[in-house]
Amino acid sequence: LQYFLDSWYEKDIETVNYFIAGLDYKEVAKTQGKDTSSLWRKHKSLAIEEYLVCKSLINDIVNG
C-alpha cells in the first residue's frame, strides 16, 4: 500500500479520497468541475482499483 501512497502527489489527495470513498469518475468530475474523461484517466493513472484490491487482500490476510 505504501507504494500507492508514495506515488500520489499531494495535489491529487482530494481526488484520491473521493475515489476511495466510492465515488465514480463521473461523480468526482461533477464535484470538482472537471471533464469526465480527464477524471477517468486520472482514476486509471492513480491505480485506484489496484490500491483497493491490495488493501482488501491485506485486510483478508490480517483478519482471517
| Rounded distance between C-alpha atoms, residue 29 and residue 38, angstroms | 8
In 3-state terms, the chain is what percent helix, strand and coil (to 5)? Answer: 80, 0, 20
pLDDT tens, per residue, the chain with 64 residues: 999 999 999 999 999 999 999 999 999 999 999 999 999 999 999 999 999 999 999 999 999 7
Q: What is the pTM of this model?
A: 0.87
Q: Is 61 left (phi over 0), alpha (psi -120 to 50) or beta?
A: alpha
Q: What pLDDT is attached to residue 64?
A: 79
Q: What pLDDT is attached to residue 36?
A: 96
Grid cell listed for 57 = 487482500
